[in-house]
Amino acid sequence: DIFYTLDGTTPSSSSTKYEDEAIVISETTTIKAIAIKNGVSSSVVSATYSIIDLEGNGTKEKPFTVADVISLNNSLTGEKYWVIGYIVGCAANGGAISTGDPLDSNFAIGDAADQTTGLIAVQLPQGDIRTALNVKDNAGNVGKQVKVHGTLENYFQYPGVKTVDEYEMISTGIFDTNVEGKTVKFMENGQIVILKNGVRFNVLGAQL
């Protein structure tokens, strides 16, 4: 016989008996269980099940958002999924924007075009995809919204996207240096530069 608890306490023969049907939970829960046979108890086993609210489902029609990928925290393995986000620059360790020279091997995406934290890194494979998407050779891609299809796994030790085999550019972006009379943004040496009335600022508002 199997007995279990849902409140974190150690199960015993007086706990709820498992009756060969689904255990229904509605919030993140740790299930602890023991087996008892002929009066002898097994060691306690436990597992935590997390309830995660996601905006997407990983399909091309409803891709995961950057927040979804971070929430999933590499819990989906072995399959490829679609992820959508705005290209904000090159990625650095810790899910941040690199402030060094731009790379061609990855970019960072966020759920907003001006996002500087809560980002994920997308690894770009060598070939046509890297040629088309990297921000070292295509600075105008910064600010554009893109969908990528790949595996959800650690990159720079944080949740990210690897083995990308498809992509779709969604928007033309807001990083346009040829718009007169407006505040515009562009990439320069791996960082976002904001141009206001001919004066250059970084994303924190400091004049450059």
Ranges 20-29, 111-120, 126-135, 190-199: which has the least confidence: 190-199
Q: What's the CA gap between 130 and 180, in Å, rounded? A: 31
172, exposed or middle or buried, with CB in 10 Å at 0-12, 13-18, 19+?
exposed
31-89 pLDDT, tens digit per residue, is: 999 999 999 999 999 999 988 889 999 999 999 999 999 999 988 888 999 999 999 88
Residue in 204, 87, 207, 203 with CA at minimum distance from that of residue 136: 87
158-169 pLDDT, tens digit per residue, is: 999 999 999 999
pTM as predicted = 0.68
82-137 pLDDT, tens digit per residue, is: 999 999 888 887 777 887 788 899 999 999 888 888 999 999 999 999 999 999 89
Residues pairing with 50 in the sheet: none
Q: Where are the extended beta strands (E) located within 12-157?
A: 16-17, 29-37, 40-41, 45-49, 81-89, 91-92, 96-97, 106-110, 120-123, 145-155
